[in-house]
Amino acid sequence: MRRILDRRVVITGLGLVTPLGTGVEKNWEALMAGRSGIGPITRFDASQFPARIAGEVKDFKPEDWIEKRDVKKMDPFIQYVYACAEQAMQQSGYPVTEENADQFGVLIGNGIGGLNTVEEFHKDFLITGLRHFSPFFIPKLISNLAPGQISIRYGARGASFTTTSACASGSHAIGEAYRMIRLGFLDAAIVGGTEAAITPLGVGGFVAMRALSTRNEEPERASRPFDKDRNGFVMSEGAAAMVIEEREAAIARGARIIAEICGYAANSDAHHITSPAPEGRIIAKCMRMCLEDNGLDLNEVDYINAHGTSTEQGDVAETQGIKRVFGERAAKIAVSSTKSMTGHTLGAAGAIESVFTVLAIERGMIPPTINQEHPDPECDLDYVPNQARPAKIRIALNNSFGFGGTNTTLAFRPA
């Protein structure tokens, strides 16, 4: 198989489904307004849970994006990213043909899979046994049916698989597809991440870990990255997708290039199942590796979309990691956590935040970190508190870190 090193990779389509809304423009409007998508849980009776808030997707109608006969075959985590892929493909206008289908891939990150389907069918099974068991049970819940359904929709015959790495899943999907295009194993791909795990088991599991915010009376103020009054993250759901392709081919077909992916790195803390390595050492190494991927100048990094989950250990470790990489210049870099508005979308987070980062570059505006009211003394960078800010961004990074110590950093720059 041919291997062409150092091909450039650009983004030509974007799609979003988040607690801020369905579609890129709804999301961008909310980000610029500093509007939270967090509210009381409505999917089930959470009255007995200590954490009763979440970032639910509220305006999504699967029938707007999926044939009615196919909706029942897809868990919500598949539906969300299927809709995002449709948005991204419409914007990109990428023409899938018999000639290029073998070089067109689909890589989608997902952390948990079809938890809604598991709980729904388990209840039915306890009542009816196998008598009314659906043949769609397994295809609805397994993670790789997210890229599987999308590849079927568009006839994409290139690599199609799921990256599953907790909260770094979406970023890994983007990064691995970027590498495959650089090396010539693909020419283009739909990439992204998705999650839909706001269920009794999903929320209950994180409650048992004491990871979730219990600011139930003020849901919009509950996600507070880098603020000393934070008391955990807010669980959310959603998805994002991009169409990415080899730069020269995109130019040749007259595509509108939104931005370029210019770096990717992944590593592991090898430290603890949930806590980051001390002092942000391995996080710093991941960011350095990303910058070294294409020989990027760290002095040109103007914005970092932080992982910023609103947990003390995570926020402090990321801050320390940024300082290790950028030294005195760290204080001059805008760092914001859009999780302050979306909550933590788990396996979708890296993809959603990559789209936000790309939009920040394209539109010259940095999203804020809302609820920055009482800064943590150990978090002393410029977190763009509470209001969006105009900026010319030369290079932007997006950090994503997950349970088990998995880390990713992606770099983007203007088209």
Catalytic residues: 167, 307, 344
Cα 260 to Cα 257: distance, rounded to the nearest angstrom: 8
168: nearest Cα among 322, 348, 289, 411: 348
Q: Pairing mode, if any, of strands 104-110 and 188-195?
A: parallel
Q: Are 403 and 111 in contact (CB under 8 A)?
A: no
The helix or strand, by DSSP H or E, that contains position 13, with its residue range, turns out to be strand 9-18
- Tell me the H-state helices in 45-199: 68-71, 76-92, 115-128, 137-141, 145-154, 169-183
Question: Which long-range contacts does 326-329 make (Cβ < 8 Å, 24+ apart)?
Answer: 326/298, 326/301, 329/298, 329/299
The helix or strand, by DSSP H or E, that contains position 205, with its residue range, turns out to be helix 200-208
Cα 324 to Cα 120: distance, rounded to the nearest angstrom: 47
Spell out where 328-391 has E strands.
334-336, 365-366, 389-390
Cα 43 to Cα 195: distance, rounded to the nearest angstrom: 15
- Tell me the H-state helices in 241-330: 247-252, 281-293, 312-326
Q: Pairing mode, if any, of strands 334-336 and 301-305?
A: parallel
Q: 3-state class of 198 per DSSP?
A: coil
**Which residues, listed in sequence order, are joined to residue 192 by a DSSP beta bridge?**
108, 241
Residue with tokens 């410029």: 382
